[in-house]
Amino acid sequence: MTGSDLIGIMILAAGLFAIGVFGVLARRGMLFQLVALEVALSGPALGFIAAGAYHADPEGQGMFILVLTLAATEVAVGLALFLRLRRLTGTDDSDAISGLKG
């Protein structure tokens, strides 16, 4: 893998991250926000794989596994919160749960 490949993949990773961020910003549904979060996390995951490959360093793959674990736990906790919130408020609109402000 050459340096320019690495840059290309890094740009892709950053693009994934940006898409995820945009998803969180653009979607009001909580479920979609959680999905967008997964997309955002996949960006760095890709980055670690690519960088690990470039430097021939297994640590990159180790980081990849950690990121995946995190993504899974985040989604698990997030889904639990989502269910509880929807039962309590009857909506999945994240804009609607804005009781804490000021």
**Contacting residues toward other proteins, per CB under 8 A:** 6-7, 10, 13-14, 17, 20-21, 24-26, 28, 30, 33-34, 37, 40-41, 43-45, 47-48, 50-52, 54-55, 57, 59-60, 62-63, 66-67, 70, 73-74, 77-78, 81-82, 84-85, 88-89, 94-95, 97-102
Neighbours of 16 (CB within 10 A): 19
Shortest distance, position 31 Cβ to other proteins, whole Å: 12
> What is the distance between the alpha carbons of residues 86 and 30, in angstroms, rounded to a whole number?
9
Contact criterion met (CB below 8 Å) for 33 and 27: yes
Q: What is the CA radius of gyration of the chain?
A: 17
Shortest distance, position 11 Cβ to other proteins, whole Å: 11
